[in-house]
Amino acid sequence: MKTRYFIILIFVGVLILMTGCTERELGVENEWRLAHSGKGKQWATNAEVVFGPGDKCSMTIYKDASRGSFAYKVLVKDDTYDNYIIAIDTLDEGYTIEDLKAHTSPSVAPKFANLKRYDVFDPGSTTFLGGSVNIDEDELYFTCIVQGEDEWKIIGFLGPLTVKDPYAKEP
């Protein structure tokens, strides 16, 4: 009889240890926010940026931004660095994302870039940012930057996300 209780006790102990040892996936939105942000959801989300392991940064564009309104969400599915940063710029006329890609300094923006937002995120976090932004019809470019103990570098350039006047007549 004591052997049976002892085996059950060990089994329950192992189950408790296994439950506590499972790793939580990084950068996962909770159910409530998933129901509100994203393509076609209540909060008009224009884009989703994902930082991934191995210095990866990607973007899914859901819809063009409207002049005066822009919203995006960021999923940081990595914990290698202390900070994950997105700089959002418009570019002077005649410049392209290729010119932006030639820029290598994470601490100084190129002279042809016009900074609109600069957002910093924690490792493993999920964030939704939205609100009014003073942007005329243009294109937004995203620079993905990471910062760690001894390192600060650009890991990617994304875009463009088009900003349109919602009241303009289509040609």
Question: In the chain, what are the domain boundaries?
Answer: 27-164
Distance in angstroms (rounded) separating the CA atoms of residues 148 and 84: 9
Fold adopted by 27-164? S-adenosyl-L-methionine-dependent methyltransferases (2.20.130)
Residues 39, 139: contact at Cβ < 8 Å?
no
Report which of residues 14 and 141 the model is more confident about: 141
Taking 70 as the threshold, does the pLDDT of residue 170 lie above it? Answer: no
Pairing of strands 83-91, 138-147: antiparallel
Give how far Cα 45 sits from Cα of 60, 80, 102, 127, 167, Å.
10, 27, 29, 12, 19
Residue in the block written with tokens 């202390």: 82
* pLDDT tens digits, one per residue of 95-140: 999 999 999 999 888 999 999 999 999 999 999 898 776 777 889 9
pLDDT band at 6 (very low <50, low <70, confident <90, very high): low
- The pLDDT assigned to 7 comes to 62
Q: Give the tokens for residue 101.
A: 């890609």
Nearest CA to 115 out of 87, 94, 154, 152 is that of 87
Q: Show Cβ contacts of residue 166 under 8 Å, excluding neighbours closer than 6 positions.
A: 66, 67
Half-sphere exposure of 114 (CA within 13 A, CB side): 11
